[in-house]
């Protein structure tokens, strides 16, 4: 039967002759781009981001670099920034800003720093740019399940790249090639090799079989930003990119903060009818960290570890990163210190520890960063930690902020080794936060694992607006841990709850015995952070029960326990610097929380619904986008920063994209 193939082979050999006009056009376009790239005079006929940074090694290098200072990027790169700035200017965020500077002045400051930059960059035309970017992806290890194994429950496809095998093999090709200088012509872009960490969705669990549910808190928000970036790009996010708890925790909730002399965070539990199932109930556990006392916080030592590998040259990566860090700089206090380490082909200290009252020095160093070369992340990380250790004096807080597109591990270590290293340093008192930039080879799984082991946040920054949220609004929370290794354990009362399901937190599940083991790491809560977890619970005898009773099992429902208690909530945390954990216990009663507005729980439920709609909606029944949007609309609350309004427009976008 090989003649089948012979027929098709004959047919395929017979490719139609190319149209001469199309041929001429294509060749002309190619030559035009070629000329543009190799022009001696780099006159910016087009907006700056239309030109390839990798053209730099060719000719006119100094001239090209001169045009790459922050100012033109600010004007040209982020149309989203215009929106971001607009919002920023009208919002009252001065209360968090010690110097009360509106963002507009940050921009002005950047502009002022430009002349100095020209002098600097002309003198030092980044040699890194000439080294080929190719090896970085070639040697990039696939995000092995082992990476996530310590605290996440990996599944075979959890950390696996989303692309099919041949494409993955080809991925090095796309990253090796610089972005095309003609984006409008829809040229093939860097293939998308994002890898996402996720595990199987939590199933409905029968209380009599597994009465205890244990997980680590987490305040990461990266997944929400990734989801947003997909939706605004006109595509539904792949289900493995959606981590519902990160979507829920993206939003601030008006939980009352703990008073003085109490635990560093307050626990608020409430029970409400499930929006998507009238026969079940939703139990919301809300933790609110103590609000930051900005005035008397200890001095901060920040080491920015900036990935300047070739893959970072995208407008949504290094330029956005520079702007983000410049924004954050204005929020620091004079006694805070900042150091800057860049890593590409080799790691280097770009800026020695510098006090925050010398912003011009810091901004100039930032502006000099340029992308090029392969990624030697591990080496950079070691250098950053060494510097952070030198900077730390008693009573100060030190943190390494790793900014990367996730393309990480060329250099020495395997991912597991890197993770262990980060963990060791965390025990030494230096934390790590990971800021993800750009899509294309964002290695979400690695970012997650590193940040979780470094007790930090993993946030994904796609717009300047998001940079402001992560770095400015939450500066204090992100940078000042108030409780480490926060674990939650809920024991359900089988007399009141026959089945339960934890919504999200799949990658944060812990074994039951890990709860009391202080050696087992868990997430941290920073100053002012809020953490929300939702359980959907089903009462015995409810028509919504998913599992039939066992014919040969024990007769269930020992009615000894008082049934007004749905369950019992246990929390463990360590105060920063302590090694012994503290236990907090609260019964979960079937009653509403009287201090938190109902809109807060409703909004969290709407977002949980949103996340489930994006991931298959197994448990939602007829409840769909319309209902989710209506619920979110009714629960917008105060929403001073417009986060909830944005979520609602994303839900509408999701509805449209899902309609097919």
Q: Which residues contact another protein by CB under 8 A?
A: 1-2, 4-5, 8-9, 11-13, 15-19, 22-23, 25-27, 29-31, 33-38, 52, 54-55, 57-59, 132-134, 164-170, 173-174, 176-182, 185-189, 191, 233-236, 656-660
- Beta carbon of residue 371, minimum distance to another protein (angstroms, whole number): 14
Maximum separation of any 2 CA atoms in the chain, in Å: 86
For another protein, the closer of residues 134 and 590 by Cβ is: 134
- Beta carbon of residue 317, minimum distance to another protein (angstroms, whole number): 17
- Beta carbon of residue 56, minimum distance to another protein (angstroms, whole number): 10
Instruction: Give the Cα separation of 620 and 622 in Å (integer).
Output: 6
Tell me which H or E stretch contains 488.
strand 481-492
Mind giving me the DSSP string for 127-190? GGGGS-SHHHHHTPPP--HHHHTTTS---TTTSSBSS-HHHHHHHHHHHHSPPPS-GGGT----
- Beta carbon of residue 216, minimum distance to another protein (angstroms, whole number): 35
For another protein, the closer of residues 1 and 559 by Cβ is: 1
The answer to whether the beta carbons of residues 367 and 402 sit under 8 Å apart is no
Neighbours of 599 (CB within 10 A): 19
Neighbours of 297 (CB within 10 A): 17
- Beta carbon of residue 40, minimum distance to another protein (angstroms, whole number): 10
- Beta carbon of residue 136, minimum distance to another protein (angstroms, whole number): 12
- Burial of 105-117, coded b for 16+ CB within 10 Å and e otherwise, reads ebbebbeebbebb
Torsion of CA 97, 101, 106, 109, to 10 degrees: -130
- Beta carbon of residue 476, minimum distance to another protein (angstroms, whole number): 39
For another protein, the closer of residues 12 and 295 by Cβ is: 12
User: By three-state DSSP, how is residue 499 classified?
Assistant: strand
Task: Compute φ and ψ for 140, nearest 5 degrees.
Answer: -70, 125
For another protein, the closer of residues 56 and 302 by Cβ is: 56
Indicate if the alpha-carbon torsion angle 72, 463, 449, 164 is positive or negative. negative
For another protein, the closer of residues 91 and 134 by Cβ is: 134
For another protein, the closer of residues 58 and 254 by Cβ is: 58
Residue from 334, 307, 366 nearest 73 by CA: 366
Residue 522 CA: distances (Å) to CA of 133, 146, 151, 528, 574 = 36, 17, 8, 18, 10
For another protein, the closer of residues 143 and 526 by Cβ is: 143
- Beta carbon of residue 46, minimum distance to another protein (angstroms, whole number): 14
For another protein, the closer of residues 16 and 395 by Cβ is: 16
Instruction: Give the Cα separation of 387 and 425 in Å (integer).
Output: 12
């Amino acid at each position: 039967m090989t003649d089948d193939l012979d027929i098709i082979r004959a047919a395929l050999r017979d490719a139609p002759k190319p149209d001469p006009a199309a041929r001429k056009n294509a060749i002309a376009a190619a030559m035009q781009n070629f000329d543009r790239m190799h022009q001696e005079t780099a006159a910016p006929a087009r907006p700056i981001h239309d030109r390839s940074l990798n053209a730099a090694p060719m000719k006119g290098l100094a001239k090209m670099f001169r045009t790459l200072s922050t100012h033109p990027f600010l004007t040209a790169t982020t149309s989203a920034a215009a929106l971001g700035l607009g919002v920023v200017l009208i919002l009252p965020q001065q209360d968090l800003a010690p110097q009360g500077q509106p963002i507009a002045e940050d921009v002005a400051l950047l502009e002022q720093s430009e002349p100095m930059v020209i002098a600097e960059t002309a003198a030092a035309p980044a040699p890194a740019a000439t080294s080929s970017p190719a090896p970085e992806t070639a040697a990039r290890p696939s995000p092995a399940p082992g990476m996530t194994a310590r605290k996440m429950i990996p599944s075979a496809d959890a950390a696996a790249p989303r692309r099919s095998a041949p494409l993955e093999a080809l991925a090095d090709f796309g990253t090796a090639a610089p972005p095309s200088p003609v984006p409008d012509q829809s040229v093939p872009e860097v293939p998308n090799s994002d890898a996402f960490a996720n595990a199987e969705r939590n199933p409905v669990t029968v209380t009599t079989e597994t009465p205890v549910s244990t997980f680590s808190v987490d305040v990461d928000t990266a997944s929400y930003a990734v989801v947003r970036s997909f939706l605004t790009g006109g595509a539904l996010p792949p289900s493995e990119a959606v981590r519902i708890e990160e979507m829920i925790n993206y939003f601030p909730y008006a939980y009352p903060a703990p008073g003085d002399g109490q635990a560093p965070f307050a626990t608020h539990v409430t029970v409400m009818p499930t929006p998507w199932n009238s026969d079940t109930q939703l139990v919301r556990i809300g933790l609110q960290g103590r609000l930051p006392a900005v005035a008397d916080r200890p001095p901060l030592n920040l080491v920015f570890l900036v990935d300047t590998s070739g893959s970072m040259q995208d407008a949504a990566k290094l330029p956005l990163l520079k702007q983000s860090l410049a924004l954050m700089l204005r929020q620091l206090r004079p006694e805070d210190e900042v150091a800057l380490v860049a890593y590409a082909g080799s790691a280097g200290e770009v800026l020695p520890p510098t006090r925050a009252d010398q912003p011009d020095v810091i901004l100039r160093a930032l502006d000099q960063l340029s992308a090029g070369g392969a990624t030697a992340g591990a080496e950079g990380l070691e250098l950053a930690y060494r510097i952070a250790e030198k900077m730390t004096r008693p009573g100060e807080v030190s943190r390494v902020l790793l900014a990367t597109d996730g393309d990480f591990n060329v250099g020495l270590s395997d991912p597991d080794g890197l993770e262990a290293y980060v963990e060791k340093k965390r025990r030494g008192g230096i934390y790590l936060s990971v800021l993800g930039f750009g899509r294309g080879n964002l290695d979400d799984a690695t970012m997650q694992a590193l940040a979780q082991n470094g007790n930090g946040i993993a946030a994904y920054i796609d717009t300047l607006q998001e940079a402001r949220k992560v770095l400015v609004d939450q500066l204090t929370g992100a940078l000042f841990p108030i409780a480490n290794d926060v674990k939650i354990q809920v024991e359900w009362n089988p007399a009141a709850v026959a089945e339960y399901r934890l919504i999200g937190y799949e990658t944060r599940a812990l074994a039951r015995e890990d709860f009391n083991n202080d050696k087992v790491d868990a997430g941290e809560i920073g100053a002012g952070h809020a953490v929300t977890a939702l359980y959907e619970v089903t009462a015995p005898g409810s028509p919504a029960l998913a599992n039939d009773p066992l014919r040969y099992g024990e007769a269930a429902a020992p009615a000894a326990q008082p049934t007004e208690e749905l369950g019992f909530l246990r929390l463990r945390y360590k105060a920063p610097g302590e090694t012994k954990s503290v236990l907090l216990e609260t019964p979960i009663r079937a009653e509403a929380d009287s201090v938190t507005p109902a809109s807060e729980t409703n909004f969290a439920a709407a977002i949980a619904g949103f996340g489930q709609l994006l991931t298959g909606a197994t448990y939602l029944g007829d409840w769909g986008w319309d209902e989710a949007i209506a619920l979110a609309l009714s629960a917008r609350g105060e929403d001073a920063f417009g986060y909830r309004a944005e979520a609602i427009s994303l839900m509408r976008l999701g509805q449209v994209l899902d309609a097919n």
